[in-house]
Amino acid sequence: MTDEFDGCICSNAIMSFSVKNADVKFILEYISQTDFMKKREMLANGTGQKELSEKDFLNFDILLPCIDEQKRIGAIASTYDSEILLLQKELDQEKQKKKALMQLLLTGIVRV
């Protein structure tokens, strides 16, 4: 037990677990896949917020390649995540530019 999360608020609907003998980034990418989630969503139960029991979660089969391949896949996924964030920032900046230009055009400050 660590005190890393002391003072944090959490829900019993959110489980945590440790990954041993596998690459954490690989496992995260693997279980985050839409296909992985869709196949298992029927196991969730509850009347309001659906919850997946820890027992059911821990019984999921995850096919693991060798640890070196897991690390390479995890690194590639992290690179793509970084690239996506960068592209999202660029898109947001372009949207801001468009908004500013539209304001200038609508006010007549700039003419085409």
Distances (CA, A) of 15 to 4, 22, 50, 71, 86: 16, 19, 13, 24, 30
Q: How confident is the model at residue 89 (pLDDT cuts 50, 70, 90)?
A: very high
Domain borders along the chain are 24-107
Decide which of 45 and 22 is more confident: 22
Lookup: tokens for 41:
């969503």
Q: How many CB atoms lie within 10 A of CB 45?
A: 10
What is the model's pLDDT at position 2?
67
Task: Give the span between the Cα atoms of 69 and 65, in whole angstroms.
Answer: 6
Distances (CA, A) of 82 to 23, 44, 55, 69, 71: 18, 31, 33, 20, 16
